[in-house]
A and B are shown apart, each in its own frame.
Chain A
Amino acid sequence: MKKQQKTKRPPGVCIPWQEKLKELPKISGDKELVQKVWQNIDALGYMYIWQCLLSF
């Protein structure tokens, strides 16, 4: 899509993983698991506000 803007907060994201990662201590376990769960739940926050705008 040529016209789209490059935003700091891309579609589907409220708090980017890289931003959250800086707040965490060094992850000793499965980093990908932590990232995946963070992003999946963060996407619900995104859905909430955009559904408020578009559907409700």
Chain B
Amino acid sequence: MAKDMEQLYQQRLKRYVAAMRNEKSDMIPIRPFVAEFTAKYAGYTCQEVTHDYEKAFAAARKCAADFDWDAVVSNMVYVWTGLTEAIGLKYYGVPGISIPPTTGFQYIEPPEEKAFMKPDEYDQLIEDPTGFLYNVWLPRVSADVSAMGQPTSFRNNLSFLKGGMAMLTYFNAFGKQNELLRTESGTVSAIAGILKAPFDIIADKLRGYLGLVTDVLERPDKVLAACEALMPHLTHVALSGADPDKNVPIGYWMHRGCVPFFSMEHFKRFYWPTFKPIVEEIWAHGHQVLFYAEGNWDAHLDSFAELPDQSIVYHVDHGDIFKVHKVLGEKFCISGGIPNWLLATGTPADVRDYCKKVIDGVAGNGGYIMDASAIVQNDAKVENIKAMTEFTRDYGVY
């Protein structure tokens, strides 16, 4: 490894970590969550980076090498559809198979009556979450896995063998990818591990959003018990994938548990009491959590402010970043806030103006990381991403 590249890596790591601890470093770190944008920049289709993770890795490294970014996600096009096809997962729109090769992969939620978990199955989930997932959920979400009690099949057996081997191959490849990011461009891998809230995951993958809307009214005690049953498992998975050096945070992907998808009453009854303890537990182990607040979670900022100082990094999507800074800025680092629509439809001058507004408003005392509002897909203009990067480097020096 070239000594200067390692020095660059250490400099960037220090800058990135300082900001995440809500401190001021030499300049504002840049950590764009670039997904299908990497394909556009590197000359691949969405199908290529989604179905061939080596191309996705190469595209991420090319962007990291060409842009002056402190940290990136090793592969933000995270869902390798080669793996999901091997398992037979039904809920993906796969570029080049079921959707155009130039479109990013999609989640397809089934209609309420075909939800992957039925309303009368809460007790099974509560009693044994892992058993429920294997015995009930997986046969429903996979085209190949046989239901319990049904004859097994060649395709059933292969689903587990190929799925297991492919998943391990994929996860192991991240070690090399992170090392190459470090040695080729001095870039930090931005996050490690995954976390979702119990309430969110019930809506995302089990009951569906509409099913859960019904359940919070018709069987609220079951919903709460299910959230509580999932808590230790989601905590365990998050900690299992966390950064052993405790530098970078665990990514927490926030979906539909906020107002107006659910009422404030439901948030306070189900979502927050079964998620806040997870964050506190993770923080007790010395790991930060990156709240990737997709959509607008401004109604819940006072709840998030209950968390220990520095325990989270709060990423702003559609929320009001200036309001977020006012409520959370004393306690937590903030990231994001540059609208994706602006990166897709605006001019470089528009982007520079917006970046200035955000930096002036929230970054004065450190504790801010430059990023788009949401994951950057292939609609973003290259010149606008360059403008965001170069302006921040020029203007964001402390």
Contacts and interface: CB of A to CB of B under 8 A. Distances in A.
Interface of A: 1-5, 7-14, 44, 46-56
Interface string B225-240: 1001101111111001
29 contacts: A1-B232, A1-B235, A1-B277, A1-B281, A3-B228, A3-B231, A4-B228, A7-B128, A9-B131, A11-B232, A11-B233, A11-B236, A12-B240, A13-B130, A14-B130, A14-B134, A47-B240, A48-B164, A48-B167, A49-B133, A49-B138, A50-B130, A50-B133, A51-B237, A52-B141, A53-B201, A54-B194, A54-B201, A55-B78
Contacts of A49: 130, 133-134, 138
B277 A3 contact: yes
B278 interface: yes
A6 to B, nearest CB: 9
Contacts of A52: 87, 89, 133, 138, 141, 163
Nearest to A13: B130
A10 B232 contact: yes
Nearest to B84: A56
B130 A46 contact: yes
B167 A7 contact: no
B235 to A, nearest CB: 7
B278 A1 contact: yes
B137 to A, nearest CB: 7
A14 B273 CA distance: 27
Interface of B is mostly: helix
Q: Give the secondary structure class of A's interface.
A: loop
Nearest to B168: A44
Given A3-B228, A9-B131, A51 B278 contact: no
B126 interface: yes
Contacts of B133: 49-50, 52-53
A1 B70 CA distance: 35
Nearest to B238: A54
Interface string B118-129: 000000001111
Contacts of B126: 5
Given A1-B231, A1-B277, A56 B87 contact: yes
A49 B83 CA distance: 13
A21 B229 CA distance: 26
B196 interface: yes
A5 B229 CA distance: 5
Nearest to B89: A56
List of 4 A-B pairs having minimum Cβ-Cβ separation, nearest first: A11-B236, A4-B232, A5-B229, A49-B133
A4 to B, nearest CB: 4
A11 B235 contact: yes
B22 interface: no
Contacts of A14: 130, 134
Which of B83, B235, B236 is packed against the most chain A CB atoms within 10 Å?
B236
Interface string B245-278: 0000000000000000000000000000110011
Given A12-B236, A49-B130, A55-B194, A5 B87 contact: no
Interface string B199-210: 001000100000
A46 B137 CA distance: 14
A4 B167 contact: no
Given A51-B237, A56-B83, A56-B84, A4 B130 contact: no
Query: Which of B137, B167, B281 has the most A CB atoms < 10 Å from its CB?
Result: B167
Contacts of A53: 133, 137, 201, 205
A44 B84 contact: no
B371 to A, nearest CB: 21
B382 interface: no
B115 to A, nearest CB: 14
Nearest to A8: B128
B180 interface: no
Contact of A7 (B129, B163, B196, B278): B129
A3 B274 contact: yes
Contacts of B274: 3
B79 interface: yes
A18 B125 CA distance: 23
B285 to A, nearest CB: 12
